[in-house]
């Protein structure tokens, strides 16, 4: 009701189609709804969510969403957004069995293994989990940059990839400054302090 109250043409405008500039790849966690986190309205974000905001090269769902967003909707930005306190990241750091999801979390365990030295130098487990959350986002942006869809887009136009982490307890977004130069595919990963 309030949408119509604020703007009588609200649904009429939405029914005409969508032309979002952003594709959001976020976590399924109920506390990180894409539009609320970014203060955007319906029609502004194309959204894909899964446990721990992963970009897995064999995920047909993700690849279909990505292709549609990049090729047909023409989004200009793709954002991978993780969040501190992510249950998926926490679960990936334990050796407990959680069920089928452990197969999915295997991808985060691979990220952990890649950065074992850095991560195990952090004694505080909450801080270590936070750092893995950030490293996971950085790795997922890298995965994104290697997809055929992004590589093909970069041959003809600019497409900006971003890696963010959202703080559930602060409401703030941290840009990890994962920079990928369009076309050149040169990546510069800046460490977040
Ligand atoms: Zn999560």
Tell how far the Cα of 6 is from the centroid of ligand 1, in angstroms: 33
Beta-sheet strand order (sheet of 160-166): 45-50, 22-27, 77-83, 160-166, 173-175
Mean pLDDT by 10 residues, the chain (193 residues): 76 82 95 89 93 96 98 96 96 93 95 97 96 97 94 93 94 86 45 36
Q: DSSP string covering 4-28, please?
A: HHH-TTHHHHHHT----SEEEEEE-
| Beta strands 178-181; 160-166: pairing state | unpaired
- Treating both helix axes as pointing N-terminal to C-terminal, what angle do 148-156 and 125-145 enclose, rounded to 10 degrees? 60
Q: Distance between CA 78 and CA 45 in Å, rounded?
A: 10
Catalytic residue, from 83, 131, 162, 180: name it: 83
Q: Which residues pair with 47 in a beta bridge?
A: 24
Is 29 in the active site?
Answer: yes
Query: What integer pLDDT is reported at residue 1 of this predicted model?
Result: 53
Tell how far the Cα of 73 is from the centroid of ligand 1, in angstroms: 27
Residues lying with their CB under 5 A of ligand 1, a single-atom ion: 27, 29, 86, 88
Is 86 in the active site?
Answer: yes
Tell how far the Cα of 156 is from the centroid of ligand 1, in angstroms: 34
Query: What integer pLDDT is reported at residue 180 of this predicted model?
Result: 62
pTM of the predicted structure, to 2 decimals: 0.88
Tell me if 79 sits within 8 A of 24, measured CB to CB: yes
Tell how far the Cα of 133 is from the centroid of ligand 1, in angstroms: 9
Tell how far the Cα of 166 is from the centroid of ligand 1, in angstroms: 10
Q: Which helix H or strand E contains 37, and what residues bound it?
A: helix 34-38
Query: What integer pLDDT is reported at residue 188 of this predicted model?
Result: 43
Tell how far the Cα of 49 is from the centroid of ligand 1, in angstroms: 10
Is 81 in the active site?
Answer: no
Query: What integer pLDDT is reported at residue 189 of this predicted model?
Result: 41
The SS3 assignment for 178 reads strand
Q: Distance between CA 79 and CA 142 in Å, rounded?
A: 12
| Beta strands 160-166; 173-175: pairing state | antiparallel
């Amino acid at each position: 009701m309030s949408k119509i109250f604020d703007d009588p043409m609200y649904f009429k405008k939405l029914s005409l189609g969508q032309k979002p500039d952003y594709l959001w790849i976020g976590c399924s966690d109920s506390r990180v709804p894409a539009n609320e986190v970014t203060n955007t309205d319906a029609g502004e974000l194309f959204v894909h969510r899964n446990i721990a905001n992963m970009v897995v090269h064999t995920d047909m769902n993700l690849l279909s969403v990505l292709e549609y967003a990049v090729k047909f909707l023409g989004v200009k930005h793709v954002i991978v957004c993780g969040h501190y306190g992510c249950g998926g990241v926490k679960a990936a750091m334990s050796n407990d069995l959680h069920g089928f999801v452990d197969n999915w979390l295997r991808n985060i365990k691979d990220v952990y293994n890649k950065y074992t030295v850095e991560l195990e130098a952090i004694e505080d487990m909450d801080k270590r989990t936070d750092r893995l959350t950030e490293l996971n986002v950085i790795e997922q942006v890298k995965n994104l940059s290697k997809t055929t869809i992004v590589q093909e887009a970069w041959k003809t136009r600019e497409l900006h990839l971003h890696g963010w982490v959202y703080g559930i307890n602060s409401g703030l977004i941290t840009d990890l400054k994962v920079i990928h130069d369009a076309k050149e595919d040169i990546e510069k990963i800046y460490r977040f302090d």
